[in-house]
Structure 1
Amino acid sequence: MKKLFTIICLTVIASFAIRNTATAQDYRNAIGGRFGTANGVTFKTTLGGNKMLDLIANFRSNNGFSYFRISGLYEVNNKIEGAPGLLWYYGAGASVGTRKWKYDNSTDAYLSVDGVLGLDYKFADAPINLSLDWKPAIGLTPETYFDSAGLGLSLRFTF
């Protein structure tokens, strides 16, 4: 089931690659991996100007539960003077997914409101992008809580 869900998500992500929009970034689209508190796949595409959409499909597991979720983040990118290729960004979005408890195999729906704050670097002579960010979340279901552990490093191929 997770494989089918991942394939569907990647198909949706690939459809954004067709977009042809002017951008303030040094790339229009980027796809790759996200590693950190949760590991997964990330696709970032321009919405025009300095705005971008970051879609993330990831999974996380600990002693009590595991989850799979899809996040969509609207980001505003800002150049850093004197640092070509380096941007800082902030934004917000949401995540949906499922959470499975290991002790009784029960599954819950997962929904959260997310924020993001980070740095984005595009190598000048290579189609490679690195992002380091903090993505805190307010879980809405199955219970309300604040998750401040959302650190991630993304390595992407740009096109």
Structure 2
Amino acid sequence: MKKVFLPILTLFILMFAAEQTNAQTPYRTAIGLGIDLGDGQTLFGPQIKHSFGGNNAGNAQVLFGDHITVLGADYSYNERISGTDGLSWYVGVGPQLSFIDHGKWHGDWDDDDHWKEGDTHTDFAIRPAVGLEYRIPSTPLAMHFDWKPWWNLSHGSRFDASRFSLGFKFVLK
């Protein structure tokens, strides 16, 4: 677990140390609830998004499901939609680690026969994302919806295009 904790801690330190100039996200930092859904089980957990300035932002999340824990970090390019108040689009990508306990997990993402009852493993995936984000004017609330396919690169590479993400955030600053 130490091997996972140190990179995540470093990411959060870098996010808060970055200076913001001319941000295209309608806030600097927001925290909230992320929901990953689609084909397979639905995952829930905390997330944080931080603008590094300009069009650049980072998002980190820890998601939980039935005997699965997912750690992810994404870079996104954000652009406000002109003529709107608080609406922006973004495109991004990031790595993800999934810690799975096959001894207890009965999800429908893997049907491979070579895993035995009780096996646990870690999957590595790349998650591209395309979506919309809306900050409610005059409030500290924001939300997003995106298409976020799951491209697993380990334990039998597979691409699942039927995954989406919802997020509800409280804007800190």
Which band: TM-score by shorter chain? 0.7 to 0.9
In the alignment, which residue of structure 2 is the partner of 1:49?
54
Cα pair 1:30 1:43 within 8 Å, conserved = yes
Question: Which residues of structure 1 form unaligned runs of 5+?
Answer: none
> How many Å apart are 1:11 and its aligned residue?
5.6
Letter in 1 for 2:129: V
Aligned equivalent of 1:58: 63
1:20-99 alignment, distance < 5 Å = 20-22=19-21, 23-37=23-37, 38-61=43-66, 66-99=67-100
Number of residue pairs aligned between Structure 1 and Structure 2? 153
Structure 2 CA distance for partners of 1:39 and 1:149, relative to 1, 3 Å: farther
- Structural RMSD (CA): 2.4
Partner amino acid for 2:98? G
Which of 141, 150, 156 matches 1:143? 156
Give distance in 2, aligned partners of 1:130 and 1:137.
21
TM-score normalised to the size of structure 2? 0.77
TM-score by length of 1: 0.83
Partner of 1:158: 171
Identity fraction in percent: 24
Q: CA deviation digits over 1:77-133, x for unaligned, max 9?
A: 112122110001111111013111127232111100110011101112111110111
Q: Indicate the structure (1 or 2) with the bigger Cα radius of gyration.
A: 2
- The structure with the greater share of residues assigned to strand is 1
Task: Please state how far the C-alpha of 1:14 moved relative to its aligned partner.
Answer: 5.3
Q: Any unmatched runs of 5+ in structure 2?
A: 38-42, 106-116
